[in-house]
Amino acid sequence: MLLKDKIAIVTGGGSGIGEASSFRFAREGAAVIVADMRLRKAEAVAAQINEEGGHATAIEVDVSISESVESLVERTVSQYGRLDVMFNNAGTLRPGTVVDLQVDDWDLVMGVNVRSVFLGGKFAIPAMLRSGGGSIINTASISGLHGDGGAVVYAASKAAVINLTRAMSTDHASDGIRVNAICPGTIETPPVMRMMEDPTALEVNLRAHAIGRLGRPDEIASAALWLASDESSFVSGEAIVVDGGLRAQSPLGRLADPRPDHLR
């Protein structure tokens, strides 16, 4: 029970990585606020957690809107009395080059991916200070570490999340608040599985991950759980890469061919 009696907010909790993390946090003893702009998805996750004997509440939020995030934190503290873990996980992607993308795309992606982390910190940190400390986790991406093309605003937004994580951690580590990011490789979540219906995209992604498969949402939830818990008590300001060996290899991959059958 790594999160016994902790109160945790998970944004984007209605699907994918956020859904897996909501279940994982609840099974480790946390009361979980499953926050999502799609309320029905969040309610379904919360209901299943409660059926399993855990504790969860669904709250509708738009993480890019200040009043919405403020109200999410206020409702959490008024219901549970404290806040220990804030997982700023909701995110979005618009594909395109700087030429293709519209200014509205820039504003949307930066709002959902970066302003959300700013707002999550802005409202969660004062609540955590009153609770004696806490852990903030932000979902970045390996796209925030490289200049891959085809989704340039997304790449910029995730790089911003990584450095915002570092800067926030510097300001608040001495208050007992740790701030860390996770950089996932390609994970089998609903939007990604739609992209992987294209066999070429699937092949490229399988080759890119040295481990020979895509990641599972629960494998990111494991990293989030560790960062949320006291097991990571001396880790602050880090961007933890969970990418099945993607970053370890050069674009050449292996020179010999000891690949699993499905990659030959």
Ligand X SMILES: NC(=O)c1ccc[n+]([C@@H]2O[C@H](COP(=O)([O-])OP(=O)(O)OC[C@H]3O[C@@H](n4cnc5c(N)ncnc54)[C@H](O)[C@@H]3O)[C@@H](O)[C@H]2O)c1
Site for ligand X in 179-208 (CB under 6 A): 184, 186-187, 189-192
Q: Does 16 bind ligand X (CB under 6 A)?
A: yes
The letter for the amino acid at 88 is: N
Number of neighbouring beta carbons within 10 Å of residue 91: 26
Q: Does 120 bind ligand X (CB under 6 A)?
A: no
Minimum CB distance to ligand X smaller for 129 or for 196 = 196
Q: 111, 64 in Cβ contact below 8 A?
A: yes
Binding map of ligand X across residues 130-169, x = CB under 6 A, - = no contact: ---------x-x----------------------------
CA proximity to 87, closest of 129, 20, 27, 136? 136
Handedness of CA 77, 79, 84, 90 (dihedral sign): negative
**CA 175, CA 125: separation in Å to the nearest integer?**
10
Active site residue 154: yes
**Interface region with ligand X, contact rule CB under 6 A, candidates 59-67, 121-129, 162-170, 245-253:** 59-67
Of 61, 114, 177, 181, the one binding ligand X (CB under 6 A) is: 61
Where residue 34 falls (left for φ over 0; alpha for ψ -120 to 50; beta otherwise) is beta
Site for ligand X in 81-110 (CB under 6 A): 89-92
Give the three-state DSSP class for 181: strand
Site for ligand X in 205-264 (CB under 6 A): none
Give the three-state DSSP class for 86: strand
Binding map of ligand X across residues 18-47, x = CB under 6 A, - = no contact: x-----------------xxx--x------
**Given 31, 33, 154, 177, which residue is catalytic?**
154
Minimum CB distance to ligand X smaller for 81 or for 245 = 245
Minimum CB distance to ligand X smaller for 1 or for 193 = 193
* Smallest gap from residue 205 Cβ to ligand X (A): 9
The letter for the amino acid at 244 is: G
Handedness of CA 62, 63, 64, 67 (dihedral sign): positive
**Interface region with ligand X, contact rule CB under 6 A, candidates 10-18, 43-51, 122-130, 169-177:** 10-18
Minimum CB distance to ligand X smaller for 21 or for 232 = 21
Q: Does 10 bind ligand X (CB under 6 A)?
A: no
Q: 227, 235 in Cβ contact below 8 A?
A: yes
Number of residues assigned to the chain:
264
Number of neighbouring beta carbons within 10 Å of residue 162: 18
**CA 29, CA 101: separation in Å to the nearest integer?**
43
State the residues that interact with ligand X by CB under 6 A.
11-12, 14-18, 36-38, 41, 61-64, 89-92, 112, 139, 141, 184, 186-187, 189-192
Residues involved in catalysis: 154
